Amino acid sequence: MGERQTYLWRILVTGTCFVLFGIGGLILGLLVFPALLLWPGDSRLRRARTRALVQRSFRLFVAVMSGLRGIGYEFEGRERLGRPGQLIVANHPTLVDVVFIVAFTPAPACVVKAALFANPFTRRVVQAAGYISNAPTDQMIEQSTAALKSGDCLVMFPEGTRTRPGQPRHFHRGAASVAVRGAAVLTPIYIRVDQPLLDKTQAWYQVPPRRPNIVLRVGDDIDLEPYRHLPSPRASRQLNAWLLEHYEQELERTAGYNESA
C-alpha cells in the first residue's frame, strides 16, 4: 500500500478501535461481569477474577491494534510487573499507554480519573474491577494505600493526566505520597512514542503520518528506604522532586520524540 492508503487505513483502524473499546466495555459491564458474579467466591476473589478478565480483554485489544497495523510496540522488562504491594508509576504521553500497562500487568488495580466512573461505557468496568477514583484526593490516598497494604499491585500516573505537549512536565505529589505510605516496592515505567499519538491536544482521527511505535521500558525499582524515616509530607515532597528529575533523565535515554518542554 502507498503512504496515503496506509494513512487512511490507520484512521479506519483507530476509529474501529474506539468503537470496539466502547462496545467491549458495555459487553463486559452488562453481560460478562454480572455472569461472573454467579461464580462462587468472596469479594476479594471476585475482584481478582474481574481484574484478570480486564487484563485479558486489554491483551486482546493490543493484539487487534497491532495486528491491524495501527501501532507497533516494544515492552521491556514487563516480567517485573505485578508483584504484591507494588506501586507502578508511569508517564502518560498518549491515551493508549494505559492499555499496554494493564494488558501486561497481572491483575493490577489502577487509579483512574473520576470521569470514568460516570462514563456509561467504562463505569461498570472500573467499578467491578475495584479501580480507585482520583478524586477526592484524601479518599484516593487512603484507598490506594490500603490497596497496596493488602497486597494489590497498583498503577498510577503521577502527571494526573496526559502530558501536555510543549509544556514542562509536572508530577502531582499524590503518587509519591502513596508510595511512602503504602508501597512495598516502587517501579517506574518510562514511556515514549516516536510521534505525537492521541495526546492531550489531538482528536481521535488525527493519526500520525507514519505508523506510530510506542516503547515502554520498566525501570529498576526505586529505593524507598531513604524516605521511610521522614514524616510523610517531607518524604513525599522529596520523592516527588527526585522522581520528576529521574524521569527526565530516563526518558532522554528512551527512543522517541520529546513531547515536554
Partner 1 sequence: MQTRDEVLEQVKAALVELFELEPDRIMPSARLNEDLEIDSIDAVDLMDRLRRQTGRKISAENFRSVRTVDDLVTAVHALVQA
Q: How far is the CB of 9 from partner 1 (least distance, A)?
A: 45
Q: Can you tell me the distance from the alpha carbon of 121 to that of 73, in angstroms, rounded to the nearest whole number?
A: 26
Taking CB under 8 A as the binding criterion, the range among 89-97, 124-132, 154-162, 229-237 that sits at the site for partner 1 is 229-237
Does residue 174 touch partner 1 according to CB under 8 A? yes
Per CB under 8 A, the list member of 234, 241, 245, 255 interacting with partner 1 is: 234
Per CB under 8 A, the list member of 20, 68, 142, 224 interacting with partner 1 is: 142
Does residue 231 touch partner 1 according to CB under 8 A? yes
CB neighbour burial string for 65-104, b if at least 16 within 10 angstroms, e if fewer: beeeebbebebeebebbbeebbbbbbbbbbbbbbbbbbbb
Pairing of strands 213-218, 72-76: parallel
Taking CB under 8 A as the binding criterion, the range among 45-53, 154-162, 219-227, 228-236 that sits at the site for partner 1 is 228-236
198-205 own/partner pairs: CB under 8 Å, 24+ apart: 198/94, 198/95, 198/96, 199/93, 199/94, 199/95, 199/162, 199/163, 199/164, 199/165, 199/259, 200/161, 200/162, 200/163, 200/164, 200/165, 201/164, 201/165, 204/14, 204/15, 204/18, 205/11, 205/14, 205/15
Does residue 182 touch partner 1 according to CB under 8 A? no
Q: Can you tell me the distance from the alpha carbon of 135 to that of 12, in angstroms, rounded to the nearest whole number?
A: 35
Taking CB under 8 A as the binding criterion, the range among 75-83, 160-168, 230-238, 242-250 that sits at the site for partner 1 is 230-238
Q: How far is the CB of 142 from partner 1 (least distance, A)?
A: 7
Q: How far is the CB of 151 from partner 1 (least distance, A)?
A: 21
The pattern of x and - marking residues 183 through 222 that bind partner 1 according to CB under 8 A reads ----------------------------------------
Does residue 136 touch partner 1 according to CB under 8 A? yes
Q: How far is the CB of 175 from partner 1 (least distance, A)?
A: 10
Q: Can you tell me the distance from the alpha carbon of 69 to that of 119, in angstroms, rounded to the nearest whole number?
A: 28
Does residue 161 touch partner 1 according to CB under 8 A? no
Does residue 137 touch partner 1 according to CB under 8 A? yes
